[in-house]
Structure 1
Amino acid sequence: MSPALRLGIVGFSLIGVCYGFARFAFGLFLPEIDADLALGPALSGVISGGSFLGYCLAIVGSAYLTERIGARAVAVSAALVAAVGMAGIAMAPNAFWLASAVMLAGSSTGLASPPMAAAVAAAVRRDRQDKTNSTINAGTSVGVALSGPVALAIGGQWRLAFAAFAAAALVLAIATARCVPSATSRSATAGVLPPINDDVARLIMAAFIMGAASTAIWSFGGQLATLRLGWGTTGIGLLWIAIGAAGIAGAGAGSLVGRFGIDRVHWGFLGAMAVSILAVGSGLATPGTTIAGGALFGAAYVMLTGVYLIWGVTALSDRPATGLMVGFLTIAIGQTAGAPLFGLLLDALGPNVTAMIFAGIAMTAGLARVNRRAPQPQ
């Protein structure tokens, strides 16, 4: 097995554990966590937003450290932080402890992505980098898809699930230490904030809005299914399996962008995200539309994050870790704002109106278009 292939497999797995387990599995188990700890929608939104806030703080430090001390050390740290955070969730006796652990676990995702972009830039041929990056990014989907069967197998015992997830993260830390190169940036601008040129500003606008809209499903998909359909652990587990399995399509982001360009792919999958939010949360939701909407959301979200990854790395081609950081950080800032807002609106307006508002928010991200004068990915 070539070093590049090993890197792709380990990177795919690292993203799957950090994003699928440490960050997004919280929404899967939220109804059971809410029942045990009496959180309520508003507090659930604040705690979920804390996960995204942890990501925001970590990804900035990760990009800086990757350029200074190398990809391997930062990637291993991501796996270890995920393990500690998820172990903390498993042991949480109250809402404050839970919020702290969720924030720590969520920060692992911020640590994970920049070193993988730097490692790909160092170890993979240039003509294969977009496809490799988008494939690694799709690891999110496998993590989400696997968390669903775990929930079904253990009957919603969320403490046991997060303990198992923490153990998986420890195993992955060892594999990461063996397979990820210690790549550092040779750019003279390493450690300096990137220039906010026109194309970077457009990326920031789009990523923020999409991130805010995505919390309708990531943070409240399980709650919406419970409110609309009375679903328990089994139904919500199936929804998460659908989200994760369909998200594998996001591995094709590099190929689609190369064929159709960023703008067309961006618009198309923002529309898919808007439809998915309505399918799960509107007054017309049925079991069939909810599962289909979850699948559509999974494909749309992972595809869109792949678009922003390529957009950022292209806009800052001499600093791939920082280019990825700009787009992914802004997604998380949007999620930090979007989760509490969704929770408040859900309390005040109910699921139907809130879902329509967030579907509309998703579509406004398409107003940001790639600067035609900027270099396009090949």
Structure 2
Amino acid sequence: MRQAARLALGTASALGLARFAYGLLLPAMRDDLHWSLAEAGAMNTANGLGYLLGAAATAVVARRRGTAATFRWGMVLVALALAATAVTDDYLVLLAVRAAAGAAGAAVFIAGGVIASRIAARAASGAPITVYFAGAGLGIAAGGAAIPPVADHWRLAWAGLGLAAAVAALVSWTAANTGPEEHAAAAGRARLRPLWGIALAYLLFAAGYITYITFLSAYLADQRAPLGQVVLTWTALGLAVVAAPVLWSGPTARWPGTRALTALLAVLAGGAALALAVPAPAVILASAIVYGATFMGVPAAVTTLIKAHTPPAGWTATLSAFTILFAAGQTAGPWLAGLLADRTSTDAALAWTAILCGAAAMIAAFAGRPRRDAAPRPGAIRTNA
């Protein structure tokens, strides 16, 4: 479990710092650089596009360089990209740097997920997978506590994020120990046919979940939330992510079929809708806690389903394929939600999350139903009555 905990610094860096911390800096960058909400959303779209390209390349890189090296050098590139964001205010250059951070983050996310899956297989437990994905909460909580007081000085904040990512790379370096399964896990093919319903739900989730955390600070700014509320909301959100394994490790490992995934998506949709229903500080805080306690459980549940329904030789390729779908969704999501919010309000971004995650929950529930018109096929997702 110690190895999984240090490996979790990968998601803390690639997701918590490189992707989600941008939401904390969006209001200051938007005001200082005179962006529209669509332009601000496009920054996360660029990050998502880089993530898409990185996901497409990761399986090839892992085959040639190994899963451990892919993880380690991806961590280094994430740190460099975050530091580079501090040195320019040119919009196109910032888009390129955000894309680079996304590409490196995808390599870290996929390679770390494969390593965590191997740790879980050796331990005969799903806990290492949920611990790995919960690492994103460390990055969110750290950013939530440290960034808001200095958010107006966004260049300094980005430099600090780069330094934090560099420290994470050093601490996690030896945790990326792959063991004797390295060659086999990097050489297989993607297995998508038995998981098509899960793939579609994952695509909708990706397009929906990212808008909540991208525009949360902008939403709080529109609500004229004081600094203390912003710090408390983001820190609570991150700590809820860290606590998620306690809530979801058991259901993810034991509940049959897609039941855990369906529950996660449904709760996530409800959590996003909660802040819209009653925009009071206590309710927004509750919304952030519910959101944090569930959203990183979705990739963990999907990874568990991939692990259960594909042979070990296909884990890297299948997880890469799912990450490509995930990246496509989160590439389009922030930009489209930003366009909608420009014409309405930041409420629309939270509504976007609630609607898309609700639709994903229904698709996941349907994908988990056993077929009555055909005999079960090898690799098919089955549920127990």
Within 5 Å, give how 1:48-87 maps onto structure 2.
48-87=44-83
Deviation at 1:356, TM superposition (A): 3.3
Partner of 1:264: 259
Distance 1:255 1:156, change over 3 A: farther
Q: CA RMSD in A?
A: 2.5
Relative to structure 1, the CA distance from residue 6 to residue 65 in structure 2 (aligned partners, 3 Å threshold; closer, same or farther) is farther
- Most deviating of 125-134 and 244-253: 125-134
The answer on whether the counterparts of 1:78 and 1:108 sit within 8 Å (CA) in structure 2 is yes
Q: Which residue of structure 2 lines up, in the alignment, with residue 15 of structure 1?
A: 11
Question: 1:39/1:233 Cα in 2 relative to 1: closer, same or farther (>3 Å)?
Answer: farther
Counterpart residue number, 2:43:
47
Tell me how far 1:106 sits from its aligned partner.
2.2
Which one-letter code corresponds to 2:356 in the other structure?
I
Q: Distance in 2 between matches of 1:126 and 1:200?
A: 24
Match of 2:147 among 141, 151, 154: 151
* Aligned counterparts of 1:8 and 1:290: Cα–Cα separation in 2: 32
Alignment of 1:209 with 2:204, yes or no, is yes
**Aligned residue in 2 for 1:255:** 250
The 5 A counterparts of 1:119-158 are: 119-123=115-119, 125-154=121-150, 156-158=152-154
- SS, match of residue 285 in structure 1: coil
**Distance verdict in 2 for CA 1:179–1:275, change over 3 Å:** closer
Q: Percent sequence identity over matched residues? A: 21
1:100 is aligned to 2:96: yes
- How far is the alpha carbon of 1:104 from its aligned partner? 1.5
- The structure-2 alpha-carbon separation of the partners of 1:303 and 1:117, relative to structure 1 and needing over 3 Å to count, comes to closer
| Aligned counterpart, 2:345 | 350
Q: Secondary structure at the match of 1:181?
A: coil
Q: Following superposition of structure 1 onto structure 2, how do residues 291-302 of structure 1 map, counting pairs within 5 Å?
A: 291-302=285-296
| Alpha-carbon shift at residue 191 of structure 1 (Å) | 6.1
- Tell me the equivalent position of 1:370: 368
Cα distance in 1 between the residues matched to 2:122 and 2:202: 25
Measure, in 1, the Cα distance between the counterparts of 2:351 and 2:68.
43
Q: Does 2:94 match 1:89? A: no
Comparing 78-87 with 344-353, which one deviates more in the overlay?
A: 344-353
**Displacement, 1:124?**
5.2
- Hey, what's the Cα distance between the residues in 2 that align with 1:106 and 1:245? 23
Q: What amino acid sits opposite 2:54 in the alignment?
A: A
Moved more, 86-95 or 5-14: 5-14
Structure-1 separation of matches of 2:185 and 2:67: 18
Among residues 25, 42, 45, which one is paired with 1:29 in the alignment?
25
How many residues of Structure 1 are paired with residues of Structure 2 in the alignment? Answer: 370
Q: How far is 1:340 from its partner?
A: 0.9
Q: Is contact 2:116-2:132 (8 Å) kept?
A: no
Q: 2:187 aligns with which of 169, 190, 207?
A: 190
Flag structure 1 segments of 5+ consecutive residues without an equivalent: none
Give the drift of 1:27: 0.8
Tell me, what secondary structure is at the counterpart of 2:258? helix
